Structure 1
Amino acid sequence: MKRSKYRPSPLESRPARIAMAAAVLVAAGALVVTFVSSGGKGTADAATSPDQFVPIQKVRPGVRPPKPSAAGSTGRFTVDCGTNGIGKFSPDNPVAQPGIKNGAEHVHDFVGNRAITANSSNADLDASGTTCRNGDKSSYFWPVVRIDKTVRGNNRIQQALAQTQPMIACPSVRDRLPAVPVSARNTVDRLLNDLDRLEADADKRMAASYGRIDPTLNNQILGTLRVRRATLIKDISATIADAGDNRPGLVSLVDCDVSYDGMHASMHSAAHTASITAGQVANPQVQCPTVRDKLPGVPDRALSEVNRNLDELDRQISEADERLVTTRGQGGPAFIDNAILGPLRAKRVAVLDRIATAIGRQAARPRDLEGLAACTVNQAPGDRAAGTPPTSSSTPAGPAVLPEPQGPNLELPGNTGGIVRPAKVLIEYRGNATSKVVPMPKFLRALTGDAKPTSRGPANARAAWTCSGFADRLSDRYPICPAGSRVQRVHDFPGCWDGRNIDSDNHRKHVAFADKVTGACPQGFRAIPQLRITISYDLPRDVQLKGQYALDSFPEENHNPFSDHDDFINVNSVRTMQRIAACINRGKNCS
């Protein structure tokens, strides 16, 4: 992934949310996008100010579920996956930014699948353990909520944005490819180089928005880039298939995004870093050299064996990542080296030797593959002294410039303060008002809401905030709840599926929301169990009244409540998903 030219300084305190109004981004030359608000300011301006908080009683009731017809499905299936008691936190987003480490730039709560990272394959997910009581290995994740009582200068975000060159960030295709047949190697390399040129050209076009946020330009550039990348990636897939191997599924790698990473360079404070005690870190991950992009063209007779072993390398990393989560805090300083990295290296040596041998039977044996065996762990607990600035982590794809989450509060630039653990997480699958549901396919990806309504426009953003006891109203602002009521986020996912694809080039087109009035799916789509996740928090009332809680977010969003979002990968077994659909279609309540 391409990152900003700026290298981060030490962390600073998160800006207090009672800070700036829409004029901040306007003054920096930003476009302010108008949307129809359920009670907010009517702008998606990335500024968090007092009017971003609203007493829930002042939000108009507006949630009116469609009335079920006789042909509808009215059942409900609930899943208990806990509230992230194992502490699986990560700034990865495996759905929206697959293959991009730290792509979210903010921390997510994860429940369900214990091994998932940005690089997890479907086989890795299927082999993982889970926090769900019924064995559901699906992954459910959303941005954390923090309480932060610190104060900042009103112009911090404006200054940071004014010094930032927005850049294009794309998932790497090179290190996600299967073994490339000898006869396809030259063509695939040429197409990969064409992908690089497309990204470089898009980056040059981004110079027109230096120092400001321009969603119209962003979407023009990204839309053109998506179309062209889709064509090239389809050509890569077809070239590999035509040469005799299976067609690889690469559609998840098509979509790119605009990165404002450079804002971090102006949002750091050495003083704040010095106050952080190194300790708990967000979901430490194993970092291994990539192998797929280092292989030569593979002889046809060796393809199946090489691909099996490449998949085995992925599973080994996934298993090690899961162990990092489940053994956190165990052993002494050498535990990770002796219990995780040492055994992993030995396993990788054996697999890399099998790959070299398989190729060597038909062609020249690759040399020095064993040099790719050793792995490290990013941010192992205790590997950084208190007060030491986070350094750029090195990944096989190149140096990243974003800091890792640091300290007991898992803080990132602009996202600081104590994380509030949910009091309750309710995961439920629901029916469709007009038809029966069909089981959703295994490994279906879906998301709801939009993490970037400021830089990409608010078309996909959804009001998600409410209070317990006020289910008939949702707000695009942070709610202030009456005494005894919990702050809630209600995330409804698309309940319609195109019947063919588990992902699409923008991670949205393969699924759709049912009609708000009738509940019917769009033409060509069929109803699936519709996922709803309700996250409840016990937040002190004075914190609510003072506007001292907010979402983690991308830097340009500045904790905009309208940037709330949620992501999901279905790893239910086929049998379990059939049971879920049957329960819903019979009108039962099951778990």
Structure 2
Amino acid sequence: MRQQTHKRGRFTNKTVAIVAALALGGGGAAIIAANASASGDKNSGQDRTLSATAGTISCPDVGQKLNSVPRQARAEVDRNLAELDSQVANAYQRMAKKEAGTDSVLTTLQQQRTATLDRIGIAIGRSAQRPAGLEQMSACKMQTNFAGKGRGGGQGGNQQGNQQGGNQQGGNNQGGNNQGGGQQGGNQQGGGQQGGNNQGGNGGQQGNGPSPEDFVDITKVQPNVKEPQNQGGASTGSFVSECGVNAEGIRNTDNVIVAPGVGNGAHHTHDYVGNKTTNANSTNDSLAAGETTCSNGDQSTYYWPVVRVQDGTQEKDANQLGGGLEGNVGRILTPKSSTIEFKGSPVGKVTAMPRFLRIITGDAKAFTNGTANANAHWSCTGFEDRQLTDKYPICPQGSDVVRSFAFQSCWDGKNIDSANHRDHVAFAQEDGSCANGFQAIPQLVNKITYEVPAGETYAVDGFPEQLHKPITDHDDFINVMSDQLMNQAVQCINSGQKCG
């Protein structure tokens, strides 16, 4: 990478400035303490790396535990689950404004959650047995995170992140980051001095992430991608929907899958391509009537968190919920390219997706939830044989940042959604086959690239308590293809053609 020594100097200066600002009470709700430590460097005289201790509010993810909710109760339950997220976001705002100490904030939060969980229990109990143990999920804690260790940091966090999350696709069986993201990403060479330069050195999104240890020089990462081998009868074709890069700027902070009917249900901003009408109040009927950015008439909705660079620019949402008021700051990058491709199964034919099937891949709360549902993949153009899950890549000159999502490709054959929005679909097993009770459907693979300005910090939008960690990246999809278009896609895939 060019001018590494100079960039290390810029990183150090920005780091010291941010630490000083935090010590004086400047904007970082999630940062508890930070310090810079010096170590000798025979090449540069003296080099500094940031050693930060950050804390985040960690609450049990109630939605992931509710895998059996009567259909007639789901709307009320979803509204209350969204209220739990709002309560955490409000707790962060109280901390940022120094309205109360940590203990007081957590006590109030627990009281709020207790009441909301009771409402969830009552809603379910009207038509089914009330879930046991709801009250035990009311308490939250302040989780301390040491830079370079644990989740999203060192060797252990990366091994777990890929073994549980990444290899479900069959893409990173040996852990996408065991060699690159953890061992090299967490150390000084990858995550601090060379990899970090001034990435993260400006305190990130109002001081609540990302941290320098969240970045790694992609050239220091070893190739780690392993694809399952096609077997006889594999469906080797593909179908592409050309839907653009959201040049129109269709964005909102809703999430119609997880929080239908709730404004700002995501607490962060999404980019949308495909269906132009998607928001919290969308219904199957409104989506079916919506216009689309896709050239082939695909009315499906594809949405993902925006990527921002912290270059000092204030977006129009700087003083709005879901934006700057919840720690999502900086200039939103329009993708350089976006590819939406549906692929086949390495072991057999695929069957058509039902219209209005909903799939979420990845976990927006993986930093506090753990990595069981994490499915983030970060890389750089020209280096896509190496994938990261809990590190942002620093790309060499001329190379673009790549986000890729390979969605669950097995469906239960019955449901277009499930109570926790996961149980109705699954990843293929290690050999590419679907588990008993599931059948192969076209696998959505979404690849998005960004031209990140040299030396700028960047991160995905996220819930405030997730500290903008790369492992929280996620992608959402609602299939609104007409039956005719879906059947065309299946025919292309099963016959080995490349269409679109």
TM interval, short-chain normalised: 0.5 to 0.7
1:442 Cα offset (Å) = 0.3
**1:30 equivalenced with 2:143 (yes/no):** yes
Across the aligned residues of Structure 1 and Structure 2, the Cα RMSD in angstroms comes to 2.9
1:510 matches 2:419: no
User: Highest Rg: 1 or 2?
Assistant: 1
The aligned runs of 1:353-432 (5 Å cut-off) are: 403-404=320-321, 411-432=324-345
Matched, 1:125 2:287: yes
Match of 1:540 among 444, 453, 458: 453
SS at match of 1:550: strand
CA contact (8 A) 1:14 1:413 kept: no
Counterparts of 1:40 and 1:431, CA distance in 2: 29
CA distance in 1, matches of 2:421, 2:264: 18
2:280 is aligned with what amino acid?
Answer: A
Partner of 1:110: 272
Within-5 A mapping of 1:239-250: none
Q: Is the 8 A contact 2:271 2:305 kept in 1?
A: yes
Give 5+ residue unaligned stretches, structure 1.
1-10, 151-274, 282-388, 391-402
Instruction: Give the deviation of 1:515 after TM superposition.
Output: 1.7
Q: Match for 1:560 among 456, 459, 469?
A: 469
Q: Structure 1, residues 422-455: CA drift from partner, whole Å, max 9, x if none?
A: 0000000000000100010000000111000123
Closer, same or farther: CA 13–88 of 1 in aligned 2, 3 Å:
farther
Give 2:365's aligned residue: 452
Identity, in percent, stands at 45
Match of 2:174 in 1: none
The Cα of 1:470 is off from its aligned counterpart by 1.9
Equivalent-residue separation in structure 1 for 2:368 and 2:142 (angstroms): 13
Is 2:310 the partner of 1:148? Answer: yes
Shift of 1:457: 2.1
Q: Is the 8 A contact 1:21 1:47 kept in 2?
A: no
- Counterpart position of 1:478: 392
Partner SS for 1:62: coil
1:15 Cα shift?
8.9
Q: Between Structure 1 and Structure 2, how many residues are aligned?
A: 325
Spell out, residue by residue over 1:291-311, the C-alpha distance to the aligned partner (whole angstroms, 9 max, x if none): xxxxxxxxxxxxxxxxxxxxx
User: Partner letter of residue 284 of structure 2?
Assistant: N
Aligned positions of 1:66-85 closer than 5 A:
66-85=228-247
Listed as ranges, the matches of 1:83-232 within 5 Å are 83-149=245-311
Once the two structures are TM-superposed, the CA of residue 29 in structure 1 deviates from its matched residue by: 3.8
Deviation at 1:23, TM superposition (A): 3.1
8 Å contact 2:30–2:465 — kept in the other structure?
no
Residue 142 of structure 1 aligns to which amino acid in structure 2?
W
- Report which structure shows greater RCO (CA 8 Å, sep ≥6): 1
- Secondary structure at 1:542 match in 2: coil
Q: Is the 8 A contact 1:583 1:590 kept in 2?
A: yes
Aligned mate of 1:570, from 470, 479, 483: 479
- Distance in 1, matches of 2:437 and 2:314, equals 53
**Shift of residue 412, structure 1, vs aligned partner:** 4.1
Secondary structure class of the residue paired with 1:579: helix
Distance 2:308 2:51 in 1: 21
- How far 1:404 sits from its partner (Å)? 3.7
Letter of the aligned partner of 1:65 in structure 2? E
Amino acid at match of 1:466: S
Aligned to 2:165: none
Equivalent residue, structure 2, for 1:489: 403
Structure 1 residue 22: Cα displacement: 6.8
Gapped regions of structure 2 (runs ≥ 5): 1-25, 35-49, 57-101, 103-140, 145-149, 162-176, 187-207
Q: Distance in 2 between matches of 1:412 and 1:47?
A: 15
**Match for residue 524 of structure 1 among 426, 437, 442:** 437
Matched, 1:587 2:500: no
Q: What whole-Å deviation, never above 9, does each CA across 1:322-375 have from its counterpart, x for those lacking one? A: xxxxxxxxxxxxxxxxxxxxxxxxxxxxxxxxxxxxxxxxxxxxxxxxxxxxxx
Q: Which piece of structure 1 moves more, 88-97 or 499-508?
A: 88-97
Query: 2:376–2:474: 8 Å Cα contact kept in structure 1?
Result: no
Shift of 1:488: 0.4
Match of 2:414 in 1: 500
Where 2:340 maps in the other structure, the secondary structure is strand
Structure 1 partner of 2:375: 462
Counterparts of 1:12 and 1:136, CA distance in 2: 43
Distance 1:23 1:539 in 2: 27
Secondary structure, aligned partner of 2:465: coil
User: Is the alpha carbon distance of 1:21 and 1:560 closer, same or farther for their aligned partners in structure 2, counting shifts above 3 Å?
Assistant: farther
**TM-score by structure 2 length?**
0.60
SS of residue paired to 2:55? helix
Q: Is the 8 A contact 1:21 1:49 kept in 2?
A: no
Residues of 1 paired with 2:51 and 2:464: CA distance? 16
